[in-house]
C-alpha cells in the first residue's frame, strides 16, 4: 500500500457527512421506568448514544426526568414530535430538546452545606 493510497482512504473516512447528535430532555417519567426500557423506546426512532435517568443521591430513586443523546438529529426530532405529551404508563410525559446550560451550571441557588454567620 502506498502512502498516497493510505492518505486517500483516511481522507475519505473523514469526509463522510456526519449527522449532528441531539440531546433530548424527558420529564414526567413514571418511577418504574428504567434506563434499559427507555433506551429501547427511543431506539425505535434511531440509535441512542447515551441515556441517563436522574436519580436522588441518597435514595437512588428516579426523580422522574432524564436525558437521551441520539446519534441523528432528525430521528431525535421525530422522537420528540411523537412522544411529547404522550401517555407513558398513564403519565403524560414532556419530551423536548435539552437546553445546554454550559460548564459550571448547577441549577442555581445554594446547595446547602455549613454556613457561618
Specify the pTM. 0.70
Domain total for the chain? 1
Look at residue 32 and tell me if it is in a domain.
yes
Q: What is the CATH number of the domain that holds 86?
A: 3.30.70.330
Mind listing the pLDDT tens digit of every residue in the chain (117 residues)?
Answer: 443 433 344 444 444 445 589 999 999 999 999 999 999 999 999 999 999 999 999 999 999 999 999 999 999 999 999 999 999 999 999 999 998 776 544 444 444 444 444
C-alpha to C-alpha distance for 21 and 54, rounded to whole angstroms: 20
The answer to whether residue 37 sits within a structural domain is: yes
Residue 66 lies in a domain: yes
Find out whether 46 and 39 touch, Cβ atoms under 8 Å.
Answer: no
Is 102 a domain residue?
no
Tell me, yes or no, whether 16 lies in a domain.
Answer: no
Strand partners of residue 92: 87
CB 29 within 8 A of CB 91: yes
Domain assignment of residue 65, given as a range: 21-97
Domain membership flag for residue 54:
yes
Amino acid at each position: 500500500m502506498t502512502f498516497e493510497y493510505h492518505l486517500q482512504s483516511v481522507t475519505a473516512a473523514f469526509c463522510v457527512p456526519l449527522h449532528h447528535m441531539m440531546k433530548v430532555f424527558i420529564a414526567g417519567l413514571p418511577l418504574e421506568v428504567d434506563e434499559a426500557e427507555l433506551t429501547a423506546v427511543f431506539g425505535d426512532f434511531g440509535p441512542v448514544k447515551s441515556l441517563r435517568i436522574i436519580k436522588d443521591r441518597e435514595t437512588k430513586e428516579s426523580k422522574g426526568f432524564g436525558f437521551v443523546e441520539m446519534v441523528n438529529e432528525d430521528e431525535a426530532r421525530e422522537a420528540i414530535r411523537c412522544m411529547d405529551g404522550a401517555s407513558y404508563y398513564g403519565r403524560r410525559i414532556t419530551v423536548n430538546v435539552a437546553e445546554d446550560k454550559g460548564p459550571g451550571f448547577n441549577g442555581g441557588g445554594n446547595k446547602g452545606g455549613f454556613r457561618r454567620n
